[in-house]
Amino acid sequence: RILRADDVQYDLASDTVGASGNVVLNEESGNIYLSDAVTYNDKLRSGTVTNLRSLLNDGSRFTAQKGERKDGAVTIMRDAFYTPCELCKIDPEKPPVWGLVASKVTHDETNQRISYRNARFEALGVPIFYTPYFSHPDGTVKQKSGFLAPDAGFKSSLGTFINNKYYWAIAPDQDMTAGLMLMTEQDPLFSAEYRKRWDNA
C-alpha cells in the first residue's frame, strides 16, 4: 500500500497515520482511493476517510461523503454513489448513463460483493426506482450465483406480472437459470435453462 498526500504525519507508537490534502491510497489490488483527509492504522489497513472517491481496478467508481476501511478488505461508505460507467471525456460533470445512490454501501473484497442500503437507481441522473436493500458481485467476479434483477409489468394477455430468476454458477463452463413468473390472468409459469460450453460448441 502506498499513501501520498500534501501533509502526512505518522505516529510510530500507535501505528497511526494522518494525512490531508490530495490524499491518494494505492492498494495492492489496484484499487485507488482519493480523499481530502484520512486517519489510518494497522499498516494502512483500517481507518476513516472524508470526501472519498474510489476507482476500482475494473473501471467502476464510488464517491461518498464519509468512508471507513476495515482490515484492508471491507470499505463502508455513507451517502455514496456507485457507477460502472466511465465519465464523459467532454463533460466529466455530466451524470453517467446509470448509477446507484445509497445511504450506506459496503464493499467486501474478500467475498467480492457490494451491498447497498436504501438504494436508488438513477439513469442519466434521473431516479428510476428505490429498494431498501440491493447487492451484486464486484467487478472482479466473472461468474457468481445469485438472484437476477426482477422483471415486472402488464400485458393484456397476462395481466400484471412479475418474473424473478436465480442464476446458478455451476462451473466455469456451465450454468443454469431458473425462474418463476406470477401473473394475475394466467397460471404461474416456471422456466429453467441449462447451458454448457464445450471446446468447439
Q: What is the pLDDT of residues 40-79, one digit of tens each?
A: 887 777 888 888 888 877 778 888 888 888 887 888 888 8
Taking only the tens place, the pLDDT of each residue in 124-141 is 778 888 889 888 777 666
13 phi and psi, to 5 degrees? -65, -40
Return d(Cα 143, Cα 74) in angstroms, integer: 21
- DSSP class of 91: -
Number of C-beta neighbours around residue 187 at 10 A: 7
| Residues of the chain scoring pLDDT < 50 | none
pLDDT for position 192:
95
Distance CA 84, CA 99 (A): 7
* pLDDT of amino acid 88: 63
What does DSSP assign to residue 89?
S
pLDDT value at residue 189: 92
- Residue 126, judged by CB atoms within 10 A of its CB (0-12, 13-18, 19+), counts as exposed
- pLDDT score for 27: 82
User: How far is it, in rounded angstroms, from Cα 16 to Cα 12?
Assistant: 7
Strands (E), 71-112: 74-83, 98-108
Q: What is the pTM of this model?
A: 0.64
